[in-house]
A and B are shown apart, each in its own frame.
Chain A
Amino acid sequence: MSAYPESMQASIRKVEETRLSRAKEEFPKLSLKERQELLQQFHPDYREGGRRELKVGVNRGQRVPNELADLFEGLSLIRPHEIDLHRIQREVDVLVIGGGGGGASAALFASECGARTLLTTKLRFGDSNTLMAEGGIQAAVGPYDSPVLHYLDTMGGGGFENLPNLVWALVEDAPLILEWLARLGVMFDRNEDGDLLASFAGGQCRRRVHSAADYTGMEIMRVMRDEVYSRGIEVIEFCPAVELLLDEKGRCGGAIFIHLDTKERFVIRSKTTILATGGIGRLHIQGFPTTNHYGATADGLVIANRAGAKIIFMDAIQFHPTGTAYPEQLVGLLVSEAFRGWSAQLVNCEGKRFINELETRDVTSSATIREVVERKKGVSTPTGMQGVWLDTPLVELNKGKGTIHRIFPHLFHRFHTFGIDITKEPILVYPTQHYQNGGLLIDENGETTVPNLFAAGEVSGGVHGRNRLGGNSLLDIFVFGRRAGILAAERSKETKVGKLSLNHIIEYERELQREGILKKEIKSPILLPDYRYERALPQTHQ
């Protein structure tokens, strides 16, 4: 018996009718001009009123999503005069803020370079978007692949606006990162010959994504966590950083933390600091559901902006084409891009394709929005959500029976729990907020525009331009986590921290007040999203 209501099953029958005839069909890719037109018409980034210009601070003049601007214009969680900066709870060489893949790799490399390293994190160590990454990690190791092709793919995906020196670092370090992870014991998928398995993601001219089934991020994260503990690196959980500290030379010299349980506030002084706090999905930009972790609330951006770190491309948000649209308990959750890499197709309510599934994410999402909003070819759920079909049974047809169990065991299990057998029935999907393409501006060693403040992972920006390719995020966090960890450790050896202060907070709030835009009702960073009461109910975000 199908878990889909009869109204949706009627459309599924049409998908089944067309399946064989389109199984091997080549759907043409769009030209760059067509891609641009589609984006301008349908991508949420281009919607009027979704973004606004920042009026104060080092990022004055930059346009960012309203939801983020609100936090930038809110009050700090601390009143500077209430904090005694002479009472230092802990002193370290390298302070890593954030316990996902970026933070863990930064801590491992900093510690290996001999720095006294401390890793702090808001929730549990490992709680992050890293562990939710399903598809995999890019690295050009195939015989007909090269870092050069990886470079071209990445630049094209980002609209040719990516910072070239960062992309260079990304593609050149990719193979060594893959080898490093495998040496830590990550069980990357192998093919029948025992060779590394590689799949496609959108926008790639070669198959280059390395996976550990559809648990890639989780497998990597649990291995890294184990390694951090084995090396004896100290970890403090449930303590988010709520402000950064600067010395008289404007260099970052630590941070103020809040213990989430006891509400105790404390100071950690550090010679260098690495921010790896992740993304902003839980701000629900333009009301979209998100694939992101509960903790993805832009904390790092908020405090770094106050401390004077420049941002880049923060107006570019990635909407993943295949967020779940049904059942409503799973709305927004990621359905791996690898499905399309393994030949699953996107089809409308009539079972017809409307885009080459391996276009870049921004393009594919825009095409889906066009299909539903303009062409009215979406499929409606009983609660009024709409979507298109991701024809997963096609994978079994094209790649052999049992492929889904082998490559996508987690997604099979997740849908099976709700009565849907994705080897036999398609999944209803709609774009969902997935990734912040931009972030804190860094150089190729991960340093921000604030001296001695580094950034790694989703909180940083530039390498992906305006749109990230699938498989480049798991890569980017380790490439820049490693580089930031190494340089932060080296820098710490020659750094003497000066007198710490919170004057930048006072000054920033004064500036907001002068502009008349200080939002006293908002305290930021928000640290936790609020889904209490009615907000817990499924929303239709279209």
Chain B
Amino acid sequence: MERKERRLIPIHIFGKRYEVPEGLTIQKAMEYSGYQFIRSCGCRGGICGACLTEYRTPKDYKIKMVLACQSLVEPEMQITQSPFIPMNRARYELEKLRAQSDILGRIYPEIFRCLQCNTCTRVCPMEIPVMEYIACAIRGEIERVAHLSFPCVMCGACASKCPAEISQPHVALLARRIYGRHMLTLPQRLYQRMEEIKQGKYEWVLERLVQLPTSKLIELYTQREQEPQESNHWVPKEIDFPENRLREERE
């Protein structure tokens, strides 16, 4: 087997030395070393923010923060994990908030303490321009905060290193929720559809369908018209399908 030929490299987990095959992620290297995670492990795909990990390599003064499931081991790296970063979140009723330019600063006044040191941006494993969105938050640019911060997995790397002690992920989450709730609109069509359902427009069709013998259901299924990939101006040939068919039968 190919895996037998893998070169072993030394790493240090919480100060203890292990030898692990190269090419493993930090997460798998820790498992190879005998760890069964309770904390510091979640989606294993870089989206949940559970496995925030700090490390240093020899001859480099820099301390790096990464997600253990997304980063490969390096020889002689010293690893520690931060499965939980204390962060303060405010309690609010989103419905009652308004998209006012001072709203973020009112709920999280500590954003004004930002020293513009840019450490948050430097340590973010998702490569989010954290300091920039905090600057936007100070200026009240809710929409920009929402978009810039969108990939945030809330691992807390930024908050753990911030000399101004800001809980950036919560500021960003508030901005996104205000943006999603109070600045984006929903199409009238959605409300219309909800109303139609409430009024029972589809009730008789669905009632028919749930009682239909499978053979009949299959017939309708195979007669569905497929919307094409390029469907900008597409209109189906039979608009009231399958209502028409079932109505005909009923009459």
Measuring CB to CB, which residues of chain A are less than 8 angstroms from any residue of chain B?
29, 31-32, 123-124, 126-127, 131-132, 140-144, 146-149, 151-153, 155-156, 160, 164-165, 167-168, 171-172, 175-176, 178-179, 182-188, 190, 194-196, 200, 205-207, 213, 215, 218-219, 222-223, 226-227, 229-230, 232, 238, 260-261, 291, 293-295, 328-330, 333-334, 343, 382-384, 398, 409-410, 413-414, 417, 528, 530-538
Contacts and interface: CB of A to CB of B under 8 A. Distances in A.
A176 B236 CA distance: 25
5 contacts: A141-B187, A293-B43, A414-B45, A536-B31, A538-B3
Interface string B230-251: 0100111001011100000000
A97 B36 CA distance: 23
Summarize B's interface: helix, strand, loop or mixed: loop
Interface stretch (B74-82, B109-117, B147-155, B159-167): B147-155
Contacts of A194: 184-185
B8 interface: no
B46 A414 contact: yes
B186 interface: yes
B194 interface: yes
A260 B180 CA distance: 36
Interface string B191-211: 101100100001001100111
Contact of B180 (A123, A156, A167, A186): A186
A172 B197 contact: yes
A531 B36 contact: yes
Given A205-B227, A294-B41, A294-B42, A147 B206 contact: yes
A293 B186 contact: no
A176 B194 contact: yes
A171 B187 CA distance: 19
Size bracket of the B interface: 35 or more
Contacts of A260: 38
A329 B45 contact: no
Contacts of A293: 42-44, 48
Nearest to B45: A333
Given A123-B50, A152-B220, A187-B184, 5 more contacts: A31-B222, A165-B210, A187-B180, A261-B38, A531-B31
The 5 closest A-B pairs by CB, nearest first: A185-B177, A164-B210, A185-B180, A536-B31, A536-B32
Nearest to A164: B210
Contacts of B59: none
Contacts of A530: 36
Contact of A205 (B92, B176, B225): B225
Interface of B: 2-3, 21, 23-25, 28-29, 31-32, 34-39, 41-48, 50, 70-72, 89, 91-95, 126-127, 146, 150-151, 153-154, 173, 176-181, 184-187, 189-191, 193-194, 197, 202, 205-206, 209-211, 214, 217-218, 220-222, 224-227, 229, 231, 234-236, 239, 241-243
Given A124-B50, A141-B187, A528-B37, A147 B197 contact: yes
Given A148-B202, A196-B186, A196-B190, A32 B218 contact: yes
Contact of B206 (A32, A123, A172, A207): A172
Contact of B179 (A141, A187, A291): A187
A541 to B, nearest CB: 14
A184 B241 CA distance: 34
Contacts of B220: 152
Contacts of A238: 38-39
Contact of B176 (A147, A185, A206, A382): A185
Nearest to B197: A172
A215 B151 contact: yes
A238 to B, nearest CB: 7
A179 B191 contact: yes
Contacts of A417: 46, 70-71
Given A179-B186, A261-B38, A383-B3, A126 B48 contact: yes
A330 B186 CA distance: 37
Nearest to B94: A185
A152 B28 contact: no
B202 A226 contact: no
A532 B94 CA distance: 44
Nearest to A171: B206
Nearest to A147: B202
Contacts of B36: 528, 530-532
A535 B34 CA distance: 10
Interface centre among B35, B44, B220, by most A CB within 10 Å?
B44
Contacts of A382: 2
B40 to A, nearest CB: 10
Contact of A182 (B43, B126, B186, B231): B186
A19 to B, nearest CB: 16
Nearest to B242: A148
A215 B177 contact: no
Given A131-B47, A410-B151, A144 B214 contact: no
A169 B116 CA distance: 51
B73 to A, nearest CB: 11
B192 to A, nearest CB: 9
A184 B190 contact: no
B48 A182 contact: no
A185 B154 contact: no
B2 A384 contact: yes
